[in-house]
Structure 1
């Protein structure tokens, strides 16, 4: 496995996705491409990682010796479009996304971004739940 794209949001689900991708990357010496964007590029959206969160994640990957690229587009499309575009650009072998718990009604739908990534990705997608 050469390239793993990770959809990251600053949440327990986002951290779980990164942790899973790190484990896979260490086994196969893969390169991680971390993608974070707010909805429609809004850096005020809670999904958009702050500079300190983003820098801390980059430092963690450096300390672990994980080859990586950080993408945080300021004029982003939807988060799903950004993840899919990154996967296409690097010819990703896998995409990793985090999933949050849903209500019974919410379980009928994964969430628009998650659902779009799973349905449109050209490579396998791993959906990681946060640890209990």
Structure 2
């Protein structure tokens, strides 16, 4: 089993990584760090560069956690494809970061985090950038 973290290079993503490392340490499980981009997208601000991902893996390693980084492209729906990765990794816990969005922003753009929370078939830990857990 493993802990899976949805990671983006933002304060919410860093909070998710921190919580994921803590949970992996507590549970003595491996960590899978997932950072995806829409297939065919030329620019995507949620894609972490190699240096950012290397630092994330080093943080896990320094905590004594074995980490694997994957960057699967998603084709249609990020939440569905992320949940499929969680099933394939046999994740015991999914960790995601949350950011504040207006009601209009949620209505227009939807919320991947909300869909992951509602559709996951395993526990989900949601954290805010300030480290608060839900």
- Contact in 2 for aligned 1:5/1:83 (Cα 8 Å): no
For the 8 Å contact 1:26–1:66, the answer to whether it is kept is yes
Tell me the TM-score normalised to structure 1 length.
0.85
Q: Structure 1: 5+ residue runs without aligned partners?
A: none
DSSP-derived class of the 2:91 partner: coil
Greater Cα offset, 76-85 or 32-41 = 76-85
3-state secondary structure, aligned to 1:118: helix
SS in 2 for 1:16: helix
Q: In the alignment, which residue of structure 1 is the partner of 2:78? A: 79
- Measured after TM superposition, the shift of residue 110 of structure 1 is 9.3
Partner of 1:131: 130
1:121 aligns with 2:124: no
Contact 2:21 2:65 in 1 (8 A): yes
How many residues align structurally? Answer: 130
TM normalised by structure 2 equals: 0.83
1-structure distance, mates of 2:109, 2:22: 24
Structure 2 portions without partners, runs of 5+: none
Shift of 1:76: 2.6
